[in-house]
Structure 1
Amino acid sequence: MTVRTGSHISVSFLSLISALTLAACTTTEVDFQGEGEGFIGSGAPVQATLETPSVGTAGQDAADDPAIWASKGAPVMVQGVSTPGFVAGTDKKAGLYIYGLDGSILQFLPQGLLNNVDVAEGLSVGGKSMVVLGASDRSPTTTGVTLFLYDPANTASDNGVRLWGHVPTDVVEPYGFCFAQVGTQLHAIMVGHEGEVRQFTLDAGADGKPVTRELRRFDIGTISEGCVADPATNALYIGEENVGLWRYGLDPATGAARTLIQPIAPDRIVADLEGLAIITDGPARYLIASSQGDSTFPVWRVDGTAPVWVGRFVVTEGAVDGITGTDGLHALSGPVGAAFPEGLVVIQDDINDVGTQNFKYIDWRAIKTALGL
C-alpha cells in the first residue's frame, strides 16, 4: 500500500487565508469553480461498472445522494425481487428510489423533497431487527428527517421499504444527513443548509414509532451538507462547501471543537465540497469526498490519529459514461453481492449522457488499484 505519510496536510499560507476569508463572507453556494460545468480535474482514472436509470424528475437538478445496504446472509425480498441488497437514492424533487445491486429500479416512494439519505441496521422495532433509512427532508409539511424501515426477514412478495415517521426540526432547510452507531445507541446527525447541526439518538418506542432525543447542536458557519461518522476514532466529518473539510468529535460532549483537515485548494478540493463516505478495507479505513468543482474524488486514510492524504481519482468513460459534478456518494465494504466482492462505491452523476441525472456503481477494487492501495 502506498500513501503519503505524516500527520498534517500541507497547504500554502495563502490558500489557508483564502479559505478562512471565504468562510467569513460566503452566504450562497458556489458551484463548479473549475473551468466550467463538466470540467474534470487531475486524478487516477477509474471506470464505473454500471448505472441506474435516470431519476424521474426530467430536466432538473434532482438526483442527489445514495446509501448502500447489503445482506450478510441469504438474499432478501424487495417488491417481489430477490436481491442480495439495495441502493437507496434520493430524487430531491420527488422522493426515494430503491435500486437493486444491478442498478434496476425495485421501488419508488413519493415522499417529497428528500436530499441526503443514509442507512443503518440492527434497530429493534416491535421485537424485530430492522434496517432503518433516514433522509433530510425539505418538504413544507415534514421539514426535518423522514424515516423508513425495511424488514430483511420478511419474505413476502410485497415486502419493501416503508415509511416509518418524521422527526421535526427548527432548521429551515435540512440538507445533509448521516447515521452513527455509537455503542448500543444509534445516533442521527442532520446538517442544515446554513451549517446548523442537530445530533440526536434514534430508537423505537413501545408503540413501534420513532423516538428521538437531541444530544447536541452547533453551527458550522456557512453552507454545509455532506457528513459521515467514524465511531472507531470518535470522528464526525462534515463538509463546509466553500471552506473545506472539518473533523469534529462524534461524542456530543466535544461540543463545537473542530479541526480543519483540508481547506478548499486547487488539486485537493474545489468548491463545492459535497458528499462524504467512509469505506473499510482490512485494517484500513478511507474517507472519500466529492470535489464537485472539478469532478474529482479526494481520499484520505482515517484509521490513525489523524487523516493522511492518499490522492484523488476521477471516473472516466467506460462501460457507462464518466461522472461529473457529483453531489452525494456512499461506500460499503464487501462482499456487496457477487459483482462487488470487496466493496461498492455509488456516486451521483450530475451530467448523465442519456436522460437526466442518475447514480453510477464502481467496484472498490478498481479504486484501490488506481490509487495503489
Structure 2
Amino acid sequence: MRRVFTLALLAATAGCTTTAPVPNSLPAVTVTARGETTPVGTVAADAADDPAIWRNAADPAASLIVATDKKAGLYVYGLDGKVRSFEPAGRLNNVDLTTLADGTVLVAASDRNDLAGARLRLYRLDTTGGQLVALGEVSGGAGEAYGVCLAQLGDELFAFSVLKTGRIEQVRLEVSGGAVSGTTVRSLKLATQPEGCVVDQRSGLLYVGEEDVGIWRFEVGPGGSETATLVAPADGRHLVADVEGLALAESGADGGWLVASSQGDNAYVLYELPSLRPAGRFRVGRGVVGSTEETDGIALVLGDFGPDYPTGLLVVQDGVNAPAAQNFKLVSWADVIASLGLHH
C-alpha cells in the first residue's frame, strides 16, 4: 500500500488547512545509491514493486537481479541496471529466489491475476543467459496474492504465500525434472494486511510485515508454534507505517541483519540478529543517481559483488522516479554499515 503524499501536498498548496501528519521518527543517516535499473515498462503508475538478488560467487560482476513490474511481469537485470530479459506474465506482485542443492536457481513470484485465487508462479533462472524458464505454478491459497518468500528448512523447500486478507500459507514445494508441485502444510494468520516476508533458515523463523502494525515472527520449522510474536512495532519512531519490504541477511551461526522499509517516512530500519535490537535508520539520498521514496520491496545479499558493492548489495524499489517510470536503486552495503558506524 502506498500513501499518496502527492495529493496531500497538492491540497496544502491549494490552501487547504488539512495536511499530512509529520512522522515523529528518529533521525536517519543518508547514503547514496551507486546504481539503478532501467525503469519498468509500465509508465505513470505504481508498478515496480519487489526485487530478489542472485549472487554469482564465481564472477560477482555477473550477478543478477529479478524484479517485478506488478502490472506486467518480471524483469531480469544485470548489475549495470540494464534489462537482460522480461517475462510478460501480468500481475506478479512479489518475488524471491533460492539456489537448490543441484545448483538450480528457483524463482517464485506471487501471481495476483486472479483476485479470488492466489498462485505461485515458479521459474528457473538461466544465470548464463539471464532468462527465466517457466516451470509451472501451484496454489497459493484462496484470496488475492501479495507477498512471497522461499526457505530451505532441512531437506524441505517451502514457499510462504502472503495473502492480502492476512493469511499466510506455508506451501511445501517439490521440484523434479523441470516440473513443480505444491502442498499447503500450514496456515498462519495476521489480523490485517501484510506483505513483505523473509525467513531465517538457520532458526526456522518467519518474519512478516503487517503494514499498519509492525513486524511479526512465526516459528515455521517442524513442530513450530502458529502463534505470532510482535518483534518490531510500527511505533512511529523506529518504524513508520506502512511497513513494506523486508530483507534478511544471514551471517555466521545466528548473526546478520533484518532490514525493513519504513515507507511512512521514506526510510529503512536496520535490526541486528538475533536480538532484533534496532541498530539504526537510513535513507537513500540523491547522488550519482536519484534518491528513493515510498519504497515497497527490498532485497539484501551479503558477499562480494565487485568493487562497487564489496561486502554486499542492497536493492530497493523507488516509488518516485520522475520524470521516468519507477525503478530499483542499487546500494552498497558497505556504505550503509559505514554511515551507521557499525561493523560488518
TM-score, normalised by the number of residues in structure 1:
0.82
Distance of 1:65 and 1:94 partners within structure 2: 13
Which residue of 327, 330, 337 corresponds with 1:368?
337
| Residue 219 of structure 2 is aligned to residue 264 of structure 1 | no
Give 2:81's aligned amino acid.
G
For the 8 Å contact 1:65–1:327, the answer to whether it is kept is yes
Unpaired runs of at least 5, structure 1: 1-28, 76-82
| Residue 112 of structure 2 is aligned to residue 138 of structure 1 | yes
Deviations 1:229-264 (A, max 9, x none): 002232110000011111111225324212111222
Deviates more, 1:215-224 or 1:93-102: 215-224
| Residue 199 of structure 2 is aligned to residue 229 of structure 1 | yes
Distance of 1:320 and 1:192 partners within structure 2: 34
Unpaired runs of at least 5, structure 2: 10-19
Q: 1:74 to 1:346 in 2, by over 3 A?
A: closer
Deviates more, 1:207-216 or 1:284-293: 207-216
What displacement does 1:212 show? 1.7
For the 8 Å contact 1:179–1:189, the answer to whether it is kept is yes
Which residue of 181, 188, 194 corresponds with 2:159?
188
Deviations 1:168-223 (A, max 9, x none): 23321110100112122221111001111001221223x53102222211211110
For the 8 Å contact 1:216–1:252, the answer to whether it is kept is no
Listed as ranges, the matches of 1:1-373 within 5 Å are 31=3, 42-74=27-59, 84-122=62-100, 124=102, 129-140=103-114, 143-152=118-127, 160-205=131-176, 207-251=177-221, 253-281=223-251, 284-303=255-274, 306-373=275-342
Distance of 1:254 and 1:107 partners within structure 2: 39
RMSD: 2.4
Identity %: 38
Give 2:142's aligned amino acid.
V
Aligned length: 327
Distance of 1:87 and 1:281 partners within structure 2: 21
Give 1:146's aligned amino acid.
R
For the 8 Å contact 2:141–2:169, the answer to whether it is kept is no
Give 2:147's aligned amino acid.
G
Distance of 2:81 and 2:3 partners within structure 1: 28
For the 8 Å contact 2:200–2:250, the answer to whether it is kept is no
TM-score, normalised by the number of residues in structure 2:
0.88
For the 8 Å contact 1:144–1:171, the answer to whether it is kept is no
